[in-house]
Amino acid sequence: MPEEKQSAHDHRRLGAELDLFVFSDLVGSGLPLWTPKGTALRLAADNFVWELRQKYGYERVEIPHLAKKELYEKSGHWDKFKDELFLIRTREGHEFAMKPMNCPHHIQIYDRVPHSYRELPLRYANTTMVYRDEQTGELGGLSRVRAITQDDAHVFCRLPQATQEVINIWKIITEFYGAIGFTKFDIRLSFHDPKEIDKYLGTAELWQQAEYILRQVAAKQGVTATEAPGEAAFYGPKIDFIAKDSLGRDWQIATIQMDLNLPERFDLTCINETGQKERIVMVHAAIMGSLERYLALVIEHFQGAFPLWLAPVQTLILPISDSHHSYAKKVLTELKEHGIKTEINLASETLGKKIRGGKLQKVPYLIVIGDKEVESNKLTAEGRTEKLEGITVADFITSLQTEIKEKK
């Protein structure tokens, strides 16, 4: 790829130009700080994931950002990742770690009371940060950070329910990524390497059972999947979704993990129809995975020109002169009251300069207000592909709301 083309899409450059995020030497490498616009971008993406998850019965939970080392010893993360953890020693000598994963915390929520089989599946969702002590030389913009935001979810279900739960997550992934134009995926089944079973939790039998479920799902979805021995998470096999961006680069986007091992380690059960304890299984699912890495992909894929539903500023109001400010502010209020993310430029600049500034900021709709608009109580709005002249504020709002809802 030509260097200048890469530079034009580089999310680090675009993040600064569009005022989305910043890194501070005083805060530390790999710890991005999100501006109001960048935070709006994050929330738009995360809210869409939650909107999709709600359709399938997920419930939100919340967890702390650290835990005693004993939690990670029991989960197996301590043995596997102890050199990558941020450790904290309390004044009383207790040893804690900043959480590298959310699943052990969600397990404790599930295990707080006995559950009947009638309650299952239980689906917990939680957008929260995890922390990894990445090496400084491996950090790169948002693509590799030390504070990683995960849109994490865990399904606790019976073994016969697992296939449908994975298929439902697949549907969420398809709809979510379809909204940014990713409609084709390469599917990789990341399995364990049976020659190195010691690298993984659990027995060969549990791994074979989990991998059989994922093969079934791929077959039911009618896809030809590539199997990748040795690419599994240490506690379970995965379905990895791989897509190409606008530059033709492959990105691993979402992942679904089938886990029969952590329920064994934590003795997770439900009470079945006969009144006996029955071992349950877990499905791990992060739709964006790392929200930082997802946004690095999205920023570069769109070169900062986000679709309306995702854009941190959806409309920019440009009054031509001071005499138009009053009506412009009225329009600003109406748009904001209807949930449209709107800004106004009241600077003493030429209209041409204001328009150039709005285009450099890649705002989807620029609203010009002059004498004609004030007198008619209407708008002129310039979008990326069309110009709307003489449209009422109400009709413009309806048009925007439709575009946002349809994720065009």
From the list 60, 12, 48, the residue with the least C-alpha distance to 175 is 48
Q: Show the beta-strand stretches assigned E in 71-181.
A: 87-89, 95-98, 122-131, 147-157
Active site residue 132: yes
Do residues 292 and 148 lie in contact, with contact meaning Cβ atoms separated by under 8 Å? yes
Amino acid at 312: P
Do residues 324 and 330 lie in contact, with contact meaning Cβ atoms separated by under 8 Å? no
Token pair listed for 17 = 């130009």
- Residue 233's pLDDT is what? 83
Active site residue 77: no
Active site residue 152: yes
Active site residue 154: yes
* pLDDT single digits (tens) 24-38: 999 999 999 999 999
Do residues 243 and 182 lie in contact, with contact meaning Cβ atoms separated by under 8 Å? yes
Rounded Cα gap, residues 366 and 317, in angstroms: 6
Active site residue 157: no
The single-letter DSSP state of residue 137 is: G
Do residues 158 and 31 lie in contact, with contact meaning Cβ atoms separated by under 8 Å? no
Token pair listed for 386 = 């069309």
* pLDDT single digits (tens) 156-211: 999 999 999 999 999 999 999 999 999 899 999 999 888 888 888 888 889 999 99
The single residue of 12, 13, 115, 132 carrying the catalytic annotation is 132
Q: What does the domain layout of the chain look like in residue ranges?
A: 3-63+102-302, 315-406
Active site residue 238: yes
Backbone angles phi, psi at 268, to 5 degrees: -85, 130
Do residues 100 and 73 lie in contact, with contact meaning Cβ atoms separated by under 8 Å? no
Rounded Cα gap, residues 180 and 160, in angstroms: 33
Beta bridge partners of 187: 241
Q: Which fold has domain 3-63+102-302?
A: BirA Bifunctional Protein; domain 2 (3.30.930)
3-class SS of residue 365:
strand
Q: What is the largest CA-CA distance in the chain?
A: 78
Size (the chain), residues: 408
Do residues 96 and 67 lie in contact, with contact meaning Cβ atoms separated by under 8 Å? yes
Do residues 27 and 139 lie in contact, with contact meaning Cβ atoms separated by under 8 Å? no
Backbone angles phi, psi at 51, to 5 degrees: -55, -45
- Residue 6's pLDDT is what? 53
Rg (CA), the chain: 24
From the list 97, 99, 118, 119, the residue with the least C-alpha distance to 110 is 119
* pLDDT single digits (tens) 356-387: 999 999 999 999 999 999 999 999 999 998 89
Active site residue 301: no
Rounded Cα gap, residues 190 and 220, in angstroms: 18
The single residue of 123, 188, 192, 238 carrying the catalytic annotation is 238
pLDDT band at 76 (very low <50, low <70, confident <90, very high): confident
The single residue of 9, 77, 150, 157 carrying the catalytic annotation is 150
Rounded Cα gap, residues 256 and 184, in angstroms: 17
The single residue of 284, 293, 354, 362 carrying the catalytic annotation is 284
The single residue of 151, 152, 240, 259 carrying the catalytic annotation is 152
Give domain 315-406's CATH superfamily: Anticodon-binding domain (3.40.50.800)
pLDDT band at 4 (very low <50, low <70, confident <90, very high): very low
* pLDDT single digits (tens) 226-277: 999 988 888 889 999 999 888 888 988 999 999 999 999 999 999 999 999 9
